[in-house]
Structure 1
Amino acid sequence: MKYKLLATDMDGTLLMNNKALSSENIEALRRAKEKGLEIVICTGRPYVTVKPYLEMLGFDCWVVTNNGAIIRNKEGEIVSVTLMEDETLGQVLKILEKDDVDYHVSDEKFTYIRSIGQRIRLIRSFLLQTEMAYWKAYLLSIWAVVFNGSHKKVDFSSFVNKGGRAASVFIYSKDRKKLENLKKEMKKIKRIDLTSSGIDNIEILHENATKGKALERLSNMLNIEKEEMIAVGDNYNDLSMIAYAGLGVAMENGEEEVIEAADWITTTNENHGIAHLLENCPDIYEKI
C-alpha cells in the first residue's frame, strides 16, 4: 500500500519561526507531489492568510482552515463547512464579553472583530515576528483590517441574534492565568472542541470541526484510507489528525504530548522538518 496524502500544519511545522516558507520545504513538497502524494495544508488560520503561501508552493492543493471547520478543494472552492451551533456560540460569546480579552470570530468568508485598533495591533505584532520593518508591518496591518475586505466590526452581544455564524473562535492573551480561567469556564459548554496552537491562545470550534475530523471527511471525498495518510504537526490542535492518520508525525519542536502521540519525529521547523521527513523517513520512501 502506498501513502497517498500528506497533511501538514503551518505555524511551527511547515513555516519557520519568522513565518517564512523555506526553499527546502517547498522543493520537498513539490517532489512528493510529483510522486503522486496529495498535499493538504491543514491549519488553524483563516484562508486569507494561507493564500500567499499557496502561491509560493506553486501547485494546487487541498486546504483545511479554521482547525478543520472549512475544507477547500484544489480550485479553492469550499466543499465542507462545520459551524458552531447558535446556542453554543452564544454561550461562548457571553463568557468572552465579560472579560477584557482579545478575540475574533471567523466563518467561511469573514473575520469578525469588536475593535479595529485592537485587531490592527495584533496583526502588527504577528507581522513583526517575520522580521518585517516596523513601518511596513504597521501599514500592512491597517490594510489587512481596514481595506482588505476580510474583516467586519460587530457588536458581539447581538451577533448570534442578527444571524452571525462561526467556524471558529480565536482568543488571544499574554496573561496565561486569564486563559486558564477561560478554559475552565469554556469546558462547561457542551459540543465544542477546545484547543490551542500556542501558549498565548485558545481556539474553540464545533466538536466535529477538528483537523482529525477534516481528514476523515477528506478520506471519504478522495477515497483514501486513513492508513494511507500522513499527518504532521507540533501543537495541541494537531493531535486529532496525528492520531487519525496512518503515520502521525511530530515536529521536534512540538509539545511533549504531541511528540508522545506520534509514530515518527522529524526535525524542527527551523531545520526544515517537512523536507527531513520526506527525505529520511524509511516508511515514506518504501511506500511512495
Structure 2
Amino acid sequence: MEYKLLAVDLDGTLFNSQKEIDRETVDALHEYKSQGGKIVICSGRSPLSTRWIAETIRLSHPIIAYNGAVIQEANGEIFEQTTFRQQGVLAFVQACEEYGVYGHLYEGDHLLVPEENDWNLSWIENNIPSLELSGGSKEACQRFRSQCKVRLAHPLHDYVSANKPDILKFAAFPKEEGNFKEFTQHLQRLTDEFEVSSSFNFTNLEISPAKTSKASALKKLASRLGLEMNEVAAIGDNFNDLHMLTSAGLGIAMGNAPEKVKERADAVTDSNDQHGVARAIRRFIVK
C-alpha cells in the first residue's frame, strides 16, 4: 500500500453539511482500514469531540485535535500536548480588547468565554454533535457532553493572570464595531507566539501556539508510527488544512474547499455533500 496513513479533517470534510458522516464514507474508511491503512482524525475540534466522533464510526488509531496542539490515543490518553506561553495568552486577550474582537480560549475540553453570545451559547452541542444518522447513541452523546463546560471568565485578563490556565487554542470572531483585519495582521506579526489559521475562509480565526499545526503534529505522529511523510495521504477543506495537504505525500482538497486551497493540493475530490472522502479514498488511495 503506497499510503499507509490517512489524515482526515472533520468539518467540511468527513462531516456533510448536516454535521453527519454518511454511510458510504464510513464504509470507504473501513475498506481502507481493512487493507492495513491507519486513519487519523486531524481536526481543530477538542480532544473530547474528536474521540466521540472516532468512537461513533469505530476508528481506533491516534487522533490529532486542536489543530495539532494535542495528539492522543483513541482512548483519550494524551501523549503530546502544546500549550501557549502565559505571555501569549495575555497578548491575545489584550489584542481582542484593543481591536474590538470577540475571542475565547480552550482549556482542555472546556471553553473560557468573556461573555455569553451566539458564538458560545450552543458550544457544547456543537462540540459534541448528536451523530444520530452516523450511528451515535443518545446515551453516549450525553456522556461526552457532560464532560464539557462553558465557563464565564470576565474579565478574561484577570482570570488568566490569576489562574495561569493551560490554553491549547484560541478562536476569534469579528464584532461590528471592531477592526478584525488589523487584529488579524497584528496576530500574524507575533510569530514567536502564534500560528494563525482559519477553518471558515478567514471570517474567523483559529490560533495555535507558535510552530504548532496539523502538519507539525502529523509529522510527529508519522514518525512515531515509523512512517515517512511520503507514505501519508491527507484530505481537508480549508486553510487550517493547507500545511497538512502540502506536507503529505498526497494532499487531497475537498470540492467545497476555497480555490486557493484546491490550487495547492495534489488532487481534488467531490464536496462533503457528495461523498467526497469516500470517492477520494477509492479514486486515489485504495488501489
Give TM-score scaled by structure 1 length.
0.85
Deviates most, 172-181 or 159-168: 172-181
Shift in Å at residue 163 of structure 1?
1.3
* Structure 1 counterpart of 2:137: none
Deviates most, 42-51 or 261-270: 42-51
* Structure 1 counterpart of 2:196: 194
* Structure 2 counterpart of 1:78: 78
Q: Following the alignment from structure 1 to structure 2, what is the Cα–Cα distance between the partners of residues 101 and 182? A: 8
**Superposed, which structure 2 residues align to 1:36-185 within 5 Å?**
36-116=36-116, 120-123=120-123, 148-154=147-153, 155-161=155-161, 162-173=163-174, 178-185=179-186
Q: What is the letter of the counterpart of residue 169 of structure 1?
A: F
Q: Following the alignment from structure 1 to structure 2, what is the Cα–Cα distance between the partners of residues 252 and 258? A: 10
Contact 1:144-1:150 at 8 Å conserved across structures: no
Shift in Å at residue 99 of structure 1?
4.7
Q: Following the alignment from structure 2 to structure 1, what is the Cα–Cα distance between the partners of residues 42 and 282? A: 21
Contact 2:109-2:148 at 8 Å conserved across structures: no
Question: Is residue 227 from structure 1 mapped to residue 230 from structure 2 by the alignment?
Answer: yes
Shift in Å at residue 42 of structure 1?
0.5
* Residue 275 (structure 2) aligned to one of 254, 269, 272: 272
Q: Following the alignment from structure 2 to structure 1, what is the Cα–Cα distance between the partners of residues 197 and 117? A: 26
Q: Which sections of structure 1, spanning at least 5 residues, go unmatched?
A: 133-142
* Structure 1 counterpart of 2:250: 247
Q: Following the alignment from structure 2 to structure 1, what is the Cα–Cα distance between the partners of residues 17 and 54? A: 18
Q: Which sections of structure 2, spanning at least 5 residues, go unmatched?
A: 133-142
Q: Following the alignment from structure 2 to structure 1, what is the Cα–Cα distance between the partners of residues 15 and 46? A: 16
Aligned residues: 272
Give 3-state SS (helix, strand or coil) of 2:105's partner: strand
Contact 2:47-2:72 at 8 Å conserved across structures: no
Give 3-state SS (helix, strand or coil) of 2:6's partner: strand
Q: Following the alignment from structure 1 to structure 2, what is the Cα–Cα distance between the partners of residues 237 and 277? A: 19
Q: CA RMSD in A?
A: 2.8
Deviates most, 222-231 or 179-188: 179-188
Contact 2:124-2:150 at 8 Å conserved across structures: no
Give 3-state SS (helix, strand or coil) of 2:171's partner: strand
Give TM-score scaled by structure 2 length.
0.85
Contact 2:102-2:175 at 8 Å conserved across structures: no
Q: Following the alignment from structure 2 to structure 1, what is the Cα–Cα distance between the partners of residues 126 and 174? A: 13
Q: Following the alignment from structure 1 to structure 2, what is the Cα–Cα distance between the partners of residues 176 and 266? A: 39
* Alpha-carbon distance change, 275 to 124 in structure 1, aligned in 2, over 3 angstroms: same
Superposed CA offset, 1:46-75 (max 9, x none):
123333322321231221111111011132
Q: Following the alignment from structure 2 to structure 1, what is the Cα–Cα distance between the partners of residues 211 and 27? A: 33
Give 3-state SS (helix, strand or coil) of 1:48's partner: helix
